[in-house]
Amino acid sequence: MESSLGILPKIGAPATRALNNAGYTALSELAGVPRAELAKLHGVGPKALEIIQSALEEHTLSLG
């Protein structure tokens, strides 16, 4: 399943809300963001970070 850079991947409601509240609304906006910074957001756990990383890798991008 290919991800789109224009939307967030399916990572669960709490993680999606946390990212939206932090100003992230698209996968492309997460490229280069430090993993530790995202992990500090309430609702963003290891599983969500792995899904985000995998989705970014489909576009040869990565978390910071």
Q: For 24-63, write each residue's pLDDT tens digit.
A: 999 999 999 999 999 999 999 999 999 999 999 999 999 9
Q: For 62, how many CA atoms within 13 A lie in the half-sphere containing its CB?
A: 1
Report the C-alpha gap between 39 and 36 in whole angstroms.
5
Report the C-alpha gap between 48 and 11 in whole angstroms.
5
pTM of the model: 0.93
